[in-house]
Amino acid sequence: MNNGEKKDNNDTNSNSHSHSVDNQLENEAITNVKKIFERYKDSPNMKQKINHYIKDILPGFCENASQQQKQREDRKNTLEEKSD
């Protein structure tokens, strides 16, 4: 087996681990939302507010956080290039 084959295998293992972590996080998030809905099972108003937050507010929050992370990475890369 050559080094390229080992790297491909390691990449596969890394991707598999990453996929597993992603699934775990997704399942945990779904469980947390279900717990919140269960906590407010007798309050249609709260259920509506939770749904609104998840559907309308959370996506924008996530997009902003993603853009901020990308900007930080870009600034870091720019500073690293300038220091070389």
Q: What angle do CA 7, 13, 14 make, to 5 degrees?
A: 85
- Model confidence band, residue 4 (pLDDT cutoffs 50, 70, 90): very low
pLDDT tens sequence across 35-64: 999 999 999 999 999 999 999 999 999 999
Residues 48 and 63 in one domain: yes
| pTM exceeding the 0.85 threshold for the entire prediction | no
First to last CA, the chain: 37
Tell me which residue range forms the domain holding 74: 43-84
pLDDT attached to residue 29: 96
Residues 50 and 84 in one domain: yes
Residues 65 and 77 in one domain: yes
pLDDT attached to residue 18: 81
